[in-house]
Structure formats: C-alpha cells, structure tokens
Homo-oligomer: A and B are copies of this chain.
C-alpha cells in the first residue's frame, strides 16, 4: 500500500498527538502498548490500528512511506502480540483477529527489514538457548515421522492445487525471470543433474525425495538408477504410482524409510529440501551417513533453505507449519561435510529464485483459495497465505537463504574442471 504525502503527514500528526484526531492529548495505555510493540519490532514503517480506531505509526517519516497497516480486533490480541509477537501474529492473523491494510507481503518485508539483530550478548545467548532447547526436542526417527506427517501428508490434492505438475515443493531455478514455474522446476532438476554430472548407469541415493520428481527425472533423462527415501507415506505412494505409469519402476525405487537407514554405496548422494528438517543436533550423523554411502569418486549435493546467522525459525512457522524445522547457516552446512573430509566444490545461493518460486505458488494458491477453503476452512487458508507470504518476504529481504552445495571426497580428482558445462545448451531431451 502506498500513501501520498498528505496522508502520511496526517498520520504523523495523529501519531504526534497520540492517536487519531478523536483521541485525547495524553496517549492511552493501548497507544503506549502499541508503540512499545512497534519499538520491539524495530520500528518498521507500519500503522497499528485498534478496535476503537486509535492508531500509531512510529517508523515512518517523510523519507519512508508506510508499508501497510495492521488492524487489531481486541485487547486480548494486543496483549498476546506484546508477549510473543512472532508466535501470536500468525495465530491472530489465522483466526481473523488481525486484518491487514494493504499488501501482506509488503508489510512483512517492512517488518523483516527493520528487525533488530540480536546484538546484545544476552539476546544472542537467549537465541542459542532456544535453539538448543529446540534441538533437545529434536528429530528422532519417530519425531521426524510425526513432523513430516503433519506437513507433507496434508493431502496430495491440496498441494496439487498450487504446485507445478510434477509437485516439486522446493526452490525452482529460473534461467531468466520470465521462465514459467513448470520450466523452472525442470531447470532446477537439470541443474542438479548437471552439477552431479550424472551419466547413464550411475547409482544415486536421494535423501528426502518429496513426490519423487527429481528421482524420476534422473532416471528418465539421465539414465541413473535411483533409490529415493522419504518418510511421508502419501508422497511415496504418489511417487511410486508415477514411476509405474512412466515405466521407470525398474530404475527408481521409492523407499518409505528414514534417510538414517540408507545402506549401500552410490555414485551420487543428493538431498533437496530435507536438511531443514534434520536439525543441527543430527548434522554429524548426516555427515557420517554420507561418508558411509558415497563411492570413492562419488559426488554429492545438498540443497537447503538456510540463513546467515543461527536463529530458530519463526515460532509460529515451527508451531503451525514446520514442526522441528531449522534452516542452517552455510557455516553449519560446511560443518556437515568438512569434518568427514569432503571438499566443497561449489556453492550457489538461489535466495531470489526461492522468492520468485514463492510468488508463483502464492498466486496459484490465491487462485485456488475457494477450493482450499472447501477442503479445509478459512483459518487454514489464512494460515497458508501467511506462511507463503512470510516465506516470500523472508527470501526477498535476506532473512532466509537458499544454499546448494556440491561436494566430493577431498582426494577425488573426478571433479568438474570449470562450471561452464552448467551454462551450455542442454543435451538431454526433456520429456513430460
């Protein structure tokens, strides 16, 4: 939402007098609480408006137009926001106790851009504590199953409404910004296959295969023999059915099991969008597993949402959307590989590609919102709108990153000479 200067000046006047024109000169308690809340958030240029029409802006001035507004329905919501804004904003938006004025993504981006870094030793310490408490709750085999079930088994019909035809639920790769989502998901799979330099007959193990698009792509277009692991029952069933239809079930095996039970030796290890669910407490274990299952001259690829500084995922996301999730820093990802003697060959940060992927998903989701509402209910629609919008805002503002790491054993010289082959016209035939 954009305001013109006259509007802005009026808002600032109201702000200076403690609220709307109708308010008394002494700011009300609620007004002071709203200001405190905005200050806690780093004074983003947004307007808070109460049930009674009182409103506050702290972070806008002549140079910074306000990015949108929040309308808070009642006192209980305001108080909850004061106690734990990260958690209760999502809860209140989902239930309708908060309404947005203007564009949700723009508003969230403004909040992210102004977020104060946890710069005092105390707040860094608290962050670390929260993180370790979170790991403590951890992702044991059974917790992992439960976490994954809650998100990925929502129903293939639901995801089918807004994902691409092959149901890729990870960051796409857009060779140019006007690439379609369908093309970009295929381009992502080709980018990975090319980074791994897959050749016919190569054996691949995939940890966390989603609906199986990448495993099928590797078998269909690169002639690889793939064993793909996933603990989501619905996803595995879908992937198996698709492989059967494509008559690839001789070359792709979908295994309903935790990646920690991978056995055997493979020419390539690949994991796309699983690391977020592993948790730093299990990174050493993952490193040892990759070491155990990768051939001497093997190649590996880790693709994961990440962040720049260690911090737990947004509390509401952890509660409602991704239980047990944690996005690693690049330093933490490297810490999975280097202690096992792996050499990182190539890191590509695809942050803005995930923002664009999310733009596509959000648009498709909004187009299908009536169907989603029929399948679930309005709070579900609102929660998913917030999740997709918040993720888009987080990638756009650098709160989240997307790291793709290619690696090999330290002593292996079976590594690409340059990366030029990734940018030459594709030799493989890209099928349906």
- Is A122 engaged at the interface, CB distance under 8 Å to the other chain? no
**Residue pair A346, B343 in contact (C-beta under 8 Å):** no
**Residue pair A398, B330 in contact (C-beta under 8 Å):** no
Which of B175, B344, B401, B420 makes the CB contact (< 8 A) with A423?
A: B420
**Residue pair A397, B411 in contact (C-beta under 8 Å):** yes
- Is A331 engaged at the interface, CB distance under 8 Å to the other chain? yes
Residues of chain B within 8 A of A397, CB atoms compared: 411
**Residue pair A343, B349 in contact (C-beta under 8 Å):** yes
A218 CB → nearest B CB, Å? 22
- Is A7 engaged at the interface, CB distance under 8 Å to the other chain? no
- Is A142 engaged at the interface, CB distance under 8 Å to the other chain? no
Q: What's the Cα separation between A88 and B359 when bound, in Å?
A: 62
- Is A352 engaged at the interface, CB distance under 8 Å to the other chain? yes
- Is A345 engaged at the interface, CB distance under 8 Å to the other chain? yes
How many monomers of this protein are in the complex? Answer: 2
- Is A396 engaged at the interface, CB distance under 8 Å to the other chain? yes
Tell me what chain A mostly uses at the interface: helix, strand, loop, or mixed: mixed
**Residue pair B308, A410 in contact (C-beta under 8 Å):** yes
**Residue pair B351, A349 in contact (C-beta under 8 Å):** no
**Residue pair B351, A411 in contact (C-beta under 8 Å):** no
**Residue pair B398, A411 in contact (C-beta under 8 Å):** yes
Q: What's the Cα separation between A417 and B187 when bound, in Å?
A: 14
Chain A, 337-355, CB within 8 A of any chain B CB: 338-339, 341-349, 351-352
Given A398-B343, A410-B398, A411-B113, do A419 and B334 touch, yes or no (CB 8 Å)? no
A300 CB → nearest B CB, Å? 14
How many chain A residues touch B (Cβ–Cβ < 8 Å)?
Answer: 45
Q: What's the Cα separation between A384 and B339 when bound, in Å?
A: 32
- Is A415 engaged at the interface, CB distance under 8 Å to the other chain? yes
Residues of chain B within 8 A of A335, CB atoms compared: 331
Chain A, 194-210, CB within 8 A of any chain B CB: none
A327 CB → nearest B CB, Å? 13
**Residue pair B418, A175 in contact (C-beta under 8 Å):** yes
**Residue pair A339, B398 in contact (C-beta under 8 Å):** no
Residues of chain B within 8 A of A349, CB atoms compared: 343-346, 415
- Is A40 engaged at the interface, CB distance under 8 Å to the other chain? no
13 CB < 8 A contacts A-B:
A175-B420, A308-B343, A329-B338, A330-B338, A331-B334, A331-B335, A344-B403, A345-B349, A396-B413, A397-B411, A398-B409, A398-B413, A419-B422
- Listed from nearest, the 10 A-B pairs whose CB atoms lie closest are A347-B347, A398-B410, A423-B423, A331-B334, A398-B411, A420-B423, A345-B349, A308-B410, A330-B334, A330-B344
